[in-house]
Amino acid sequence: MRFSFLLTILLGLLTFPVMGQNYTSAADSDPAAKAILDQVRQKYEAYTTIEANFSLEIQFPEQPVEIQKGTLSRDGDKYRAQFGVQEVMMDDQAMYMVSHNNKSVQIRDLPDEDEEAGMLSPQSLFNFYDGGDFVYTLIDTRTVDGKVVHVIEFKPTDRYSE
């Protein structure tokens, strides 16, 4: 499925290392990168249900790369993500984080619509770049398994953010 491949690529892009480039605000973002992100977002928002496999590459300086694989399913505003021994589910009332390893469940009420959520959800995967917290640029376009892949680098505008 082409969409699941795009989702895999987009999730993987969140972990690219910060390169030495000057930037000061989200207004410095690459218009070509924004056009690609907007296109992926429009396609995603057109689906009412979706299921996709993903892999997330986590890389910290001087540490080995960790790759987590999982699945993501969405039905309207409800979603479920499974990766490793963790599972995250969200409905219209709360987010449920299940750790199968230690047999625990954390339940977190959802913030009001006008509050800062601070939560990663399938919806925020495709609109987080609109908040002004990141500057992004298209750094590569290549073909992988016969499909065009655009590599977009994201950097926080706050140099002290995590």
3-class DSSP assignment, residue 33: helix
**CB 66, CB 83: distance < 8 Å:** no
25-36 pLDDT tens trace: 777 889 999 999
pLDDT at residue 128 in the model: 75
pTM assigned to the model: 0.62
User: Can you list the positions of beta strands (E) in 15-77?
Assistant: 49-58, 66-75
82-123 pLDDT tens trace: 988 899 998 888 889 999 999 999 998 877 665 655 556 666
pLDDT at residue 6 in the model: 40
Query: Read out DSSP for 62-90?
Result: TS--EEEEEEEEEETTEEEEEETTEEEEE
d(CA 72, CA 74): 7
In this prediction, residue 3 has a pLDDT band, given cuts at 50, 70 and 90, of: very low
